[in-house]
Amino acid sequence: MPDSPKQSLRTAVAGVSGYAGGELARLLLRHPQLTSTPPIFLGRLSEPDVHPTPLTQLHPELSGLPFADELQVSAFDWKQLERESIDLLFLATPHEQSRAWVPDAIGHGMRVIDLSGAWRLHSDSLRAVYKLEDRDPAGAATLQAEAVYGSPELHGPAIKKATLVANPGCYSTSIILALAPLVRANLIDLGHGIICDAKSGVSGAGKALIPNNLFMHAADNLSAYAVFGHRHTGELLEQLNLAEDQIQFTPHLLPIPRGILSTIYVRLNKKCDRAEIQSIFDQFYFDAPFVRVRRSPQLPQIQYVVRTNFCDLGFQLSSDGLRLVLISCLDNLLKGAASQAVQNMNLMAGWHEAEGLL
């Protein structure tokens, strides 16, 4: 695809009813490049017979934004997308649905940003955690090989030309952005292993009525879950080129609505000083508008990133120069989902990646 900016972009969002879908709608409705071309909003496959519903009935907080009070959420319909000449389709849908719809969307000439985990993993064995089935395994394998992992900080040039962008997971984003500079610099003693202790607000699990996410369980509580089995682990292995026994990731549920704080413990393979570590992070993210590297010993906090597209990174180095603790914070619904998807859209359209996000 050409890198020249696209003057008019027709977008559609399938699956707008969820938390991330609502945030995505808010960002697109306010996007300065889409002021004359509001998105089309569609339901999920599980909602085929739903009559058109006012967008602001699903998300009253959007009322007053451009076009919001006029727009309807309709049942998903390929013919409608064709009539509207949609260029870019966002899928905020379950993994199975995204896996089935992406080949059809690309067959209709659309580019796709998928917010599910359906296309993030290239390894068949790692992707098996999603239990996906393909109607056309050979065709799906071809698309999977072409899918670009949608981390703008790591894969910006490829995202610009991509037909299919797999938006990263929220936990994955926080951990990968913290570790990538050190992995690329070959500074981590992988024999000692990496420990990732990550905590997320309750919105990370979506709107499904899961007992452990209900108020009576989550409030005044802190709990670990999916130990040795979280779906985002495969993204860490592939994007950081690590073996399974070189990293341990354990997620926890925080009694807050949104936000992620990841504490990551590593041992370095040589003695370093604070200035050297700081320089590695500063240079790696010198042109990344949404990664803020704190000055050690300052450390990120969730309250500094919530409702923003920023990922804040910080670290503390032990006095022996070998043990390093990294802290990474982001909003799981924004940099961990919706605003990262808009950042990818900006790159794909040839606009500045920060357009509509600051």
Amino acid at 276: E
How far is it, in rounded angstroms, from Cα 200 to Cα 331? 9
How far is it, in rounded angstroms, from Cα 230 to Cα 226? 5
How far is it, in rounded angstroms, from Cα 11 to Cα 347? 14
Q: From residue 185, how far is each of 54, 180, 277 by CA, in Å?
A: 51, 8, 10
Within 8 A by CB and 6+ apart from 307, the residues are 258, 331, 334
Q: What are phi and psi of 20, to 5 degrees?
A: -65, -35
Positive or negative torsion for Cα 161, 8, 37, 10: negative
Catalytic status, residue 170: yes
How far is it, in rounded angstroms, from Cα 165 to Cα 90? 10
Which positions are annotated as active-site residues? 170
